[in-house]
Amino acid sequence: MKTVNTVVIGAGPGGYVCAIRLAQLGVDTLVVEKNNWGGVCLNVGCIPSKALISAATKFSDLVSPKKSGLNDMGISFGGDVELDMGKLQAWKEGIVGRLTGGIAQLLEKNGAQMMVGEAKINGVGSITVTTAKGKEKIKCENIVIATGSTPIEIPGFSYKDPRIMDSTKALALQELPKRTVVIGGGYIGLELGTVLSKLGSEVTIVEMGDQLLPGFDPDVVRVLARNLKKAKVPVMLKSRALGWEENGDCAGVTVETPKGEKSLDADAILVTVGRFPNTSGFGLEKLNVVMDGRFIKIDKQGKTSVPGIYAIGDVAGNPMLAHKASHEAEVAAEVIAGHKVQNEAKTVPAVVFTNPEVATAGLQEHEAKAEGYEIKVGKVPFAAIGRALTTGHTDGFIKVVLDASDDRVLGVTICGSHASDLISEAALAVEMDASALDIGLTIHPHPTLGEGVMEAAKAALGEAIHILN
C-alpha cells in the first residue's frame, strides 16, 4: 500500500496546479488522472477552441477580404482559399500536445507523483486507483477533488449519435458540416458556432432565453447580434429544440418557436446548454460531504464539511472557469501546507471569444443596479480609439461602472477587439478597490487599445477628452 500526504483526483487546471503547488511547498503529493494531463481545458476545451477560433478568423478574412476590411487597406488577392480540416486539426493537436506534455514535465520536475488511472474513494484517507497494471490502494491524509465537469445531454439529442455533437466532438471535426444547428446561445455555443460559420458552415443558433449570452450586458448582446446578422447566422430566441429525425441526407430538427413549430435542416447538431459537475462515479457518496445543489460545498479555504477533504474547480461551484479553478487550487495547496490563507478574490473575470470578444470583471451595469448601487457609467466606443481605427476593428465599446458615492470601480465590461487581453487591468482595479482616478491618472501608452479603459474611467467622471461627456 502506497502512503502519501495528499492525493489530488483530476489533473485539469485545478488539479495539476494544486499538485504542482503542493509539491513546491514540500507536501508529498500524488495526482491521479484517468484521461489526459491538463483536463478538459487543455485537451478539449479552452486551448483547442481558441486555436480553432484564431484559424477560423484568419480563414474568414482571406475568404472575404471585403468584409474583413482588407480591401479597404489596399490588400487584395486572387485565387481560391482552401481549407484543409486535417491539417487544421493536426496543428491544433500540436499545440495541445506541447502544453499537456509541459504539464507532465512540471509535475515531475517539482516532485509530484503521477498515476494514470481511475481513482475511487474508499473513505476518508483512502482511495483505490485502477491502472493498466491493476489496482493499487493509497493511504493519505488529504484528498483534493478536482474532477471537473461534463457537457449536459438533453433528451432526444444523444451524443452517441454521429450527428449530435458536444463541444469535444465539435473541436475534433475532420469534415466541415454544410449546415449546423447550434442548440444554446451561451458562450460555448457562440464561440463554436462562430468558428463553424467562419469556416463555411451554414449555422443557425437556437436559444431558449430572450437574449443571447444570458446574464450579460444588453449592450454587449446588441453588438454580437448585429455581427451575427452580418455573418448571416440566424438566431432563434425564445425557442426550444424538441427533437430530430433523419430526413433524407440530413437531419430535420424540430424547433418550438413563439410562432409555432419549425423544422431546420442540419448535417450536424451542436448541443451547448451547459455543463454538470462530475460528482458521481468515484465514491464521493462515501464521504457524506455537504452539497450545494449539484456542487460540493466548500469554504474560503477549499475545505468541505469533512476534515481532510477539499474540492476545487467546476465541482465546487460556479463560475466553471479554468482560472477560477487554478486560483482555488493554489489556495487549497497553501492551506494543506499549513499556511493561513483563504480565497478573498473579489472578482473572477470572464471572457467570451466571439466576434468581437467580450470580457467582464466585477459587476456589469445591470448587475450593479440590481444590487442597489447608485452608479456612474463611462462608455467609450472602439471607434473613438485611435489604435482600433488603425487595426480596422472598431466594433464594440469599453464600459466602466462606478459606485457614485465614492467613484470606486465596481466593474468593467469590454466588448471589442482584444477584450480578453484588456480585462486584466480591469480585474486588478476591482480587486484593489481602485477609484476611477486611479485608472484615469495612470498614464497609458499611445496608441493602444488600453487607452480606452483610461478614457472610459474618465468618462464616468465627466472628464473624457476624446469623446463628448
Q: Which long-range contacts (CB under 8 A, 24 or more apart) does 252-256 make?
A: 253/181, 253/206, 255/206
> CATH number of the domain that 42 lies in?
3.50.50.60
The pTM for the full model equals 0.96
> What's the pLDDT at 77?
77
Query: Given this model, what pLDDT does residue 64 score?
Result: 83
Closest of 82, 87, 99, 10 to residue 48, by C-alpha: 99
Place of cell 484517468: 34
- Residues 8, 80, single domain; the answer is yes
DSSP, collapsed to helix, strand or coil, labels residue 105 as helix
- The answer to whether residue 343 is domain-embedded is no
Enumerate residues 6+ apart whose C-beta is below 8 A from 462: 469
Q: With respect to residue 465, please indicate whether it lies within any of the assigned structural domains.
A: no
Q: Is-contact 354 194, C-beta < 8 A?
A: yes
Angle between helices 419-431 and 451-460 (to 10 degrees): 50
Question: Is the previous residue joined to 447 through a cis bond, with omega within 30 degrees of 0?
Answer: yes
Average pLDDT for the chain:
96
Gap between the Cα atoms of 268 and 35, Å rounded = 26
Residues 258 and 328 in one domain: no
Gap between the Cα atoms of 265 and 104, Å rounded: 44
For residue 248, name the pLDDT band (cuts at 50, 70, 90).
confident
Evaluate if residue 377 carries a pLDDT over 80.
Answer: yes
For residues 256 and 303, membership in a common domain is answered with no
Residues 264 and 280 occupy one common structural domain: no
CATH number of 426's domain: 3.30.390.30
Tens of pLDDT, residue by residue over 263-281, are 999 999 999 999 999 999 9
DSSP class of residue 443 equals P
Structural domain includes residue 158:
no
**Tell me, what's the pLDDT at 163?**
97
Residue 436 belongs to a domain:
yes
CA dihedral 406, 409, 410, 415 (to 10 degrees): 150
If asked whether residues 370 and 264 sit together in one domain, one would say: no
Residues 265 and 283 in one domain: no
In this structure, the answer to whether residues 54 and 99 fall within a common structural domain is: yes
- What's phi and psi for 248, nearest 5 deg? 75, -120
The band of 80, judged by pLDDT with boundaries at 50, 70 and 90, is: confident
Query: Are 365 and 216 contacting, i.e. CB atoms less than 8 angstroms apart?
Result: no
Number of domains making up the chain:
3
- In the listed set 249, 273, 297, which residue is the last one of a domain according to the structure? 273
- Domain hosting residue 131, numbered range: 2-151+276-336
The pLDDT tens digits of the residues spanning 121-157 come to 999 999 999 999 999 999 999 999 999 999 999 999 9
The per-residue pLDDT for 352 is 98
Per-residue pLDDT tens over the stretch 233-244: 999 999 999 999
Q: Give me the pLDDT at residue 297, please.
A: 98
Q: Is residue 341 part of a domain?
A: no
- Mean pLDDT across 304-326: 98
- What's the pLDDT at 247? 87
Looking at residue 276, the DSSP 8-state letter turns out to be E
Model confidence at 183, in pLDDT bands (50, 70, 90)?
very high
Name the E strands within 158-317. 164-165, 179-183, 202-206, 235-236, 240-247, 250-257, 260-266, 268-271, 275-277, 291-292, 295-296, 309-311
Which has more pLDDT, 438 or 36?
438
Mean pLDDT of 85-94: 97
- What's the confidence (pLDDT) of residue 140? 98
The residue from 327, 418, 446, 466 that is catalytic is 446
What tens digit of pLDDT does each residue of 154-169 get?
999 999 999 999 999 9
Q: Are 371 and 365 in contact (CB under 8 A)?
A: no
Whether residues 228 and 206 share a domain: the answer is yes
Tell whether 48 and 119 lie within a shared domain. yes
> Would you list the DSSP string of 282-346?
SSGGGTT--EETTEEP--TTSB-SSTTEEE-GGGG-S---HHHHHHHHHHHHHHHTT-------S
List the one residue out of 152, 124, 151 whose CA is nearest residue 138.
124
One-letter amino acid at 283 equals: G
Q: How far apart are CA 412 and CA 264, in angstroms?
A: 38
φ, ψ of residue 303 to 5 degrees: the values are -80, 140
Q: Which is it for strands 202-206 and 235-236: parallel, antiparallel or unpaired?
A: parallel
Tens digit of pLDDT for each residue in 92-113?
999 999 999 999 999 999 999 9
In a domain, 467, yes or no: no
- Let me know if 446 is a catalytic residue: yes
Q: What percent of the chain has pLDDT over 70?
A: 100
The number of helices, as runs of H, and strands, as runs of E, in the chain is 14, 24
Angle (deg, nearest 10), helices 15-24 and 322-336: 30
pLDDT at residue 278, rounded to an integer: 98
Whether residues 30 and 47 share a domain: the answer is yes
9 and 112 together in one domain: yes
